[in-house]
Amino acid sequence: MIKTLHVELNENRYPLFVGAGILNRIGEYLKPCAKSTKALLVTDTFVNHCYAPVVMESLKEAGFNVAIVDIPVGEESKSLEQFARIQDSLVENQLDRGSTLIALGGGVIGDLAGFAAAVYMRGIAYVQIPTTLQAQVDASVGGKTAINHPKGKNLIGAFHQPKLVLIDIETLKTLPHQDLRAGLIEVIKMGVIRDEPLFEMVEENLDAILNLDVEMLIEMIARACANKADIVAKDEKESGLRMVLNYGHTFGHALEALTHYKKYRHGEAVSIGMNCAAKLAVNLEMFSETDFERQRALLNRAKLPLTFPSNLSAEAICDAMSLDKKALGGKLRLILPTRIGEVVIRDDVTDTQIVQAISECY
Ligand SMILES: NC(=O)c1ccc[n+]([C@@H]2O[C@H](COP(=O)([O-])OP(=O)(O)OC[C@H]3O[C@@H](n4cnc5c(N)ncnc54)[C@H](O)[C@@H]3O)[C@@H](O)[C@H]2O)c1
Ligand SMILES: [Zn+2]
């Protein structure tokens, strides 16, 4: 079974394929939308070893002339240095305006290679082949690309939409379980912000999902991507609606920054953040205890963390959250749930209320 979605944006419309064992079809899918047969595959050292051979073979069979850049594994690679390596390879291999860059890997590779494609010759085509659940349900849809600056994550970037996204769920077989669970948070988040049936799908089929049941995963990933595509289509450049995707993330980002991006996977920090945002919403009498408990129970069953570490004070976490505030001209905007399947944007929550909610989440 292969599910095909179409992401609709102003001038761009591109297909997203979700299936099992479809890496070897990349050549066939890319051929009709590529302007030339020159391509560069960007991947990380681990993914290169596991999955690049089948992708390369498929591309070569379809007549593509492909070079590879192998990037060291890890977030540190979202750097100017690795960005420069990709640009060097694009130049050395004489890729031109009609060439295609292919990102094969997790969100790090998608963000880095996407940004390289966004600026080389003022923008060339690129393709996303995400291989982590995090990248499949979140990073690969939406066109946000970026690298990090020593002073902050994703500070240097661009919006650049891919020509196609190919998601092969078979790649999840090699993904460590904890990474699978951390990626699942973005699906649960999508359920809470706008799609109660998706939330229910995860609730009812959690074991099948974690055991990588093929049909279930295809169904769930396609639905999560359709939601993200719909939000992005309505707000491509993040002026309003797209902010709802930040549910749990303002708390989560603060926690990640305070623990120097080492203690938690992104999804784990967001899980704690969602639990706290939901608690805050209960305190503000806009979210029921029953729904709070329903979200808490699902995160708990997925073995995702719910509480802040005792060595960080509620005040310190609240302060770190206000770094987002500076970026938004003085007001901290929080995404808070009103029920499972609906959130609102609030900019009137006080620090006292935030500290109170955090202190109830240890
Ligand atoms: N652009 C966006 O909208 C967006 C959204 C969310 C996250 N992101 C970015 O995504 C990044 C995180 O993505 P990630 O969690 O995929 O991290 P990642 O790319 O670092 O991958 C995590 C680890 O999994 C390994 N890996 C990849 N595929 C594998 C597979 N199939 N089997 C086994 N191991 C595999 C990688 O080698 C790496 O060690 C962050 O940099 C974040 O900023 C971007
Ligand atoms: Zn996230």
- Nearest residue (by CA) to ligand 1, atom 34, is 175
Per-residue pLDDT band for 329 (boundaries 50, 70, 90) equals: low
> Could you confirm whether 325 is annotated as catalytic?
no
> Under 8 Å CB-to-CB from 335, ≥6 apart: which residues?
193, 243, 244, 246, 247, 248, 249, 250, 277, 343, 344, 345, 346
Q: In this structure, what DSSP letter does residue 131 have? A: -
What value does the mean pLDDT take over residues 326-340? 83
The radius of gyration of the chain from alpha carbons, rounded to an integer in Å, stands at: 20
CA-wise closest residue to 166 among 7, 40, 46: 7
Q: Can you tell me the distance from the alpha carbon of 97 to that of 118, in angstroms, rounded to the nearest whole number?
A: 11
* CATH architecture type of domain 2-175: 3-Layer(aba) Sandwich (3.40)
Pick the CATH number of 179-359 from 1.20.1090.10, 1.20.950.20, 3.20.20.70, 3.30.70.20: 1.20.1090.10
Ligand 2: centre distance to CA 330 (Å): 23
Cα(192) to centroid of ligand 2, in Å?
Answer: 14
pLDDT of residue 145: 97
DSSP 27-87: HHHHGGG-SSSEEEEEEEHHHHHHHHHHHHHHHHHTT-EEEEEEE-SSGGGSSHHHHHHHH
The per-type count for the chain, helices as H runs and strands as E runs, is: 13, 11
**Domain regions of the chain by residue span:** 2-175, 179-359
The values of phi and psi at residue 2, to 5°, are -125, 130
Identified catalytic residue from 148, 227, 246, 275: 246
Look over the chain and give the mean of its residue pLDDT values, rounded to a whole number.
95
What gap in Å lies between CA 3 and CA 219, rounded to an integer? 8
Comparison of pLDDT for 84 and 242, the residue scoring more: 84
Q: Tell me the per-residue pLDDT of 130-164, one tens digit each, with 9 for 90 and over.
A: 999 999 999 999 999 999 998 888 999 999 999 99
Residue 328 pLDDT > 70, yes or no?
no
Amino acid at 245: L
